[in-house]
Amino acid sequence: MKKRVVAAIMCVAFVMTGCGSLAGRHNIDSGFTYIESRDYVSALESFEAATEKGEDECLIHRGIGIVKLQTGDYQSAVDELLASLAADEGIVDDMDFDTNFYLAEAYYRLGDYAKAKEVYDAILALRSKDSNAYYLRGVCELASGGHDSAYSDFSKAIALNSRDYGVIILIYKSLAEYGYEDEARNILQTAMDNGSSFMTNYEKGQISYYLGNNADAQSYLELARNERDQEKEPVVLMLGQTGEKQGDYNYAISVYKTYLNENPESATVYNQLGMCQIKQGDYDGAISSFEAGLTVDDKGVNQALRLNEITAYEYMGQFNMAQSLMATYLQDYPGDETAIRENIFLSTR
């Protein structure tokens, strides 16, 4: 496997053909546009049309592979991404590496950590300063029981980009998930100590939250929420979570509603608001929030909104409505094993 991946990403030709060709890409371009909007059904239809029109084989396989990865068909994702790499006749570029990152993720999702690691090994053989590859390889090593090698890779990732607090937080979560909580907290505390003079309020708020310093987190995030150039939605979501973490759902709901009054096109915030309302026992309010979120039609959030709406109807004791919605849900998401089990429960009510 390693030789195949290395060969794929090292393949060099002196012609501008294969992946990345701009000729005859109408359906392919449509497919990738649908992927960006998370409309995977339409994306697959576009790639099927691209195949019929004889468009770029490399890009078609790449697009289908990404769709399969995003929809949970990981073995098909592996097959398609390998086919994309095999069909690549162009000069090696960022797209080749990007395809390999998708391939490694597919292997990881399959639980084949050894093959995922081989892909990251191949990437790092050519890009020795790719901090993201070090982080992801570390995740694979941690999952397969290699704590020391994982920690080494995490350390390299941080050394290469010590101000990438998003990755540092992901490293914290990975270590904490596998029981290395003290080690994980030390990484966060070091980041805070070393970066406090130039970190943004949002970054300070994030790290304070994960360190368990909830009051500090709220203070920093409230400041960030009022900063003109700060993207507001991630701040609002984390600020609301500081309230949820303490069981203060009134505060969290106030944060979410205030944001939605000015930004009513956030399906993610509607979903989080609905979940808070469920915890308060306000099932009617939760259903209204989920339905408002669905009107936004964010393909990446619709599934969660629909499933959570079904849950709200269950809590209300309206099992017939829940079962009706579940039947429609399973038509659109037939591979959701959790929903299938829940549907069996609903059928007994």
For residue 36, the domain's CATH number is: 1.25.40.10
Out of 94, 126, 158, pick the residue that ends a domain.
126
* Residue 324 and residue 237 in one domain: no
136 with 154: CB under 8 angstroms? no
* Residue 181 and residue 208 in one domain: no
Out of 199, 233, 254, pick the residue that ends a domain.
199
Can you tell me the mean pLDDT for 7-30? 54
pLDDT tens, position by position, 297-330: 998 899 999 999 999 999 999 999 999 999 999 9
**pLDDT over 50 at 12, yes or no:** no
Distances (CA, A) of 254 to 51, 57, 240, 258, 309: 50, 50, 8, 6, 21
Distances (CA, A) of 206 to 136, 195, 237, 263, 303: 21, 13, 11, 22, 27
* Residue 111 and residue 19 in one domain: yes
Share of the chain above pLDDT 90, in %: 82
* Residue 101 and residue 30 in one domain: yes
What is the domain-level CATH number for residue 142? 1.25.40
* Degrees, nearest 5: CA angle 134-78-301: 80
* Residue 116 and residue 15 in one domain: yes
> Could you identify the residue written with the tokens 């999952």?
143
* Residue 323 and residue 279 in one domain: yes
Can you tell me the mean pLDDT for 5-26? 45
- Domain tally for the chain? 4
pLDDT value at residue 149: 97
138 with 159: CB under 8 angstroms? no
* Residue 162 and residue 232 in one domain: no
pLDDT value at residue 348: 73
pLDDT value at residue 18: 44
126 with 136: CB under 8 angstroms? no
pLDDT value at residue 20: 52
Tokens linked to 225 = 């929420």
pLDDT tens, position by position, 270-279: 999 999 999 9
pLDDT tens, position by position, 192-238: 999 988 999 999 999 999 999 999 999 999 999 999 999 999 999 99
For residue 58, the enclosing domain spans 1-126
Cβ count within 10 A of residue 185: 16
Out of 85, 110, 126, pick the residue that ends a domain.
126
Binned at pLDDT 50, 70 and 90, residue 19 comes out as low
> Among 35-39, 141-145, 216-220, 236-240, whose mean pLDDT is lowest?
35-39
Tokens linked to 346 = 């609903």
* Residue 118 and residue 48 in one domain: yes
* Residue 73 and residue 112 in one domain: yes
* Residue 194 and residue 240 in one domain: no
* Residue 137 and residue 208 in one domain: no
**pLDDT over 70 at 1, yes or no:** no
Binned at pLDDT 50, 70 and 90, residue 16 comes out as very low
* Residue 73 and residue 30 in one domain: yes
